[in-house]
Chain A
């Protein structure tokens, strides 16, 4: 050792490199410095080992080592036949796999399910990878075109009309319900004390309804003419395309902004026409598969994806509404959020399934699955609204002011400045809601929809496969499927969070 306590020091020979002491690097070093370096750590290490011993080892033993991999019925999975302790009974899953994935979807039509999910995956994956181009086209295809295509693929059926007919139908329903309400009031006036007054009000309402019918008469007449023409949806399609294009052209600023919007619009309609032609929607489409036959993972994914995609816009609208300065919008948003957050999802599903039909007009039915979809979306929307409200509150007021000062309208300020920042703040909370929604889809089994878990439970009833380990195998399998989806969402959200928050790192 050199003594450098003296005020002047000059090194004579350089110190050569030496290996670090064995005890501080490598495996031994890791064990010494990270696992056994203090009494607390020693205790934690022992607890960790115990955990591995009691949970991980038996799980692997059950799922892999002791598992039965082939067989045709329960006998293969019985300990007395196998001659050893029996773990998971995988042949059971194999035998039930179609039921777990498709429910009772007819075998000949299952390609439609596969095609739908392949299509979804092909559209979704490039959307998730930030490096790939054409995000807006991709997003448009996934969020707007895909749901419609998926509906006609999975459910089947065709279309008789297009935009004009649909608008006419909606308006007619609206006018009908007004007339109906008026007639109900007139009916009341016969028994009530305030008879004449009620009669006057009722007649006035009926008059409004009749007037509405006259106002929309050109539209309904046009629809009936087109229906009678026997050309399928095509005349309607053409008229709709022309009307929408003209409106877009005029509202978009006419020739001044160039022909791009018009071309985009026409291309969109051409795409729709191609899809209609390709799927034969104008000729009745694919055979209809009633949603009561759907089941398994199909139903789980349909509910989860619809819920996820629909709940976010609902949440955004409500969160903005809750901050609105217009009292009516604010009160509506608050009431809505508090109501949906105050009732359990099971109640919502029950209500949607068994009570809603009682309130709707007699000839108006909504498919059971659709009712559940609506219930789940509205329910999750309320939660997303509260998540987002936190994010909106975290955006400083100055941001909106700076945007307004630059001349941006409220809509542009909100969508370009405030919302993007708010969303970045609450990605973890939003994905948290997505994950819990994904798992909550299993609650639909109480309203007679057979999701993945419901199908599994139904398959337990099969006496061909009753063995002591059937239930464990089934739950382990579905558990793994749920885990893969939820874990995937969780990891992806971390990635997105990291990427979108690039601006916060220095």
Chain B
């Protein structure tokens, strides 16, 4: 068995006096798809934002593909190059066209010539099925299209791990499917994914493991089958009864 591609050990984080993340241990193997769920405010976003150093933490260690990220956030740049992230609110750059959104980082971070960067970007835009809108501005697209562009933008950097923070929860119901389909495609290609979501259908279909968080800690982690059929912890049961109704 190879080393896990993401290894979180003894992670603790405080916002001032507030202990948001408590003793988090989590190892993600290459190609594994992990769904993180839990009630609002349980620290899901904070956890995955720690993985690419958007949040600093006070104790513990995160290792991404052999690169160590300690509390002093050394190697931030190296880690961020390995990790792509998709946000709830898309966060496309509104002043740049879709194509420029996708070529910006390859050009400025990886020093790839503009021509090559554009070719790569078009390849990924085709993969998320919006090559025809490459010259539009994000503001001229639907939410679902924007989120797919955001996925393409993250993929242009060839990340080894993709983080998704509630990628569908800002979308109208009919657009959720197109984004989830894109993510399923990505999963089938073998991408390592950590997904914070409340889409339990996605979890059942795609995830290798479901991680349930509450009050800043991991309460339960299991295969989706076990997790949904036989939750162990009382809090998990309560949460599932509320969300699956």
Contacts and interface: CB of A to CB of B under 8 A. Distances in A.
Interface of A: 257, 396, 398-399, 401-409, 412, 416-417, 420-421, 424, 500, 502-504, 506
A412 B94 CA distance: 16
Contacts of B139: 503-504, 506
B84, B94, B109, B157: residue with the most chain A Cβ atoms closer than 10 Å: B94
Contacts of A399: 91, 93
Contact of B80 (A257, A407, A417): A407
A97 to B, nearest CB: 45
Contacts of B91: 396, 398-399, 401-402
Interface in B60-105: 77, 80-81, 83-85, 87, 89, 91-96, 104-105
A396, A407, A408: residue with the most chain B Cβ atoms closer than 10 Å: A407
A211 B219 CA distance: 64
Interface string B116-143: 0000000000000000000001111000
Interface in B134-183: 137-140, 150, 153-154, 157
Contacts of B154: 405-406
A219 to B, nearest CB: 34
Contact of A421 (B81, B87, B95, B157): B95
Nearest to A420: B95
B54 interface: yes
Given A401-B54, A503-B94, A503-B139, A408 B87 contact: no
B157 A406 contact: yes
B77 A398 contact: no
Contacts of A402: 85, 87, 91-93, 150
A412 to B, nearest CB: 5
A406 B137 contact: no
29 contacts: A396-B89, A398-B87, A399-B91, A401-B54, A402-B87, A402-B91, A402-B92, A402-B150, A404-B54, A404-B80, A405-B52, A405-B83, A406-B80, A406-B105, A406-B109, A406-B153, A406-B154, A406-B157, A407-B105, A408-B104, A408-B105, A416-B108, A421-B93, A421-B94, A503-B94, A503-B137, A503-B138, A504-B139, A506-B140
Contacts of A257: 111
B112 to A, nearest CB: 12
A396 B95 CA distance: 13
A72 to B, nearest CB: 59
A329 B136 CA distance: 39
Nearest to B150: A402
A408 B156 CA distance: 14
Contacts of B85: 402, 405
Contact of B108 (A404, A405, A408, A506): A408
Nearest to A506: B140
Contacts of A421: 93-95
B89 A398 contact: yes
Contacts of A401: 54, 87, 91
B157 A407 contact: yes
A482 to B, nearest CB: 33
Contacts of B52: 405
B73 to A, nearest CB: 12
A502 B95 CA distance: 8
A398 B92 CA distance: 9
A417 B94 CA distance: 9
A503 B139 CA distance: 6
B153 A407 contact: no
Contacts of B140: 503, 506
A169 B68 CA distance: 46
B109 A408 contact: yes
A100 to B, nearest CB: 43
Given A407-B81, A420-B95, 5 more contacts: A402-B93, A404-B54, A405-B85, A500-B95, A503-B95
A433 B198 CA distance: 49
A437 to B, nearest CB: 27
Nearest to A502: B137
A261 to B, nearest CB: 12
B16 to A, nearest CB: 15
A420 B93 CA distance: 10
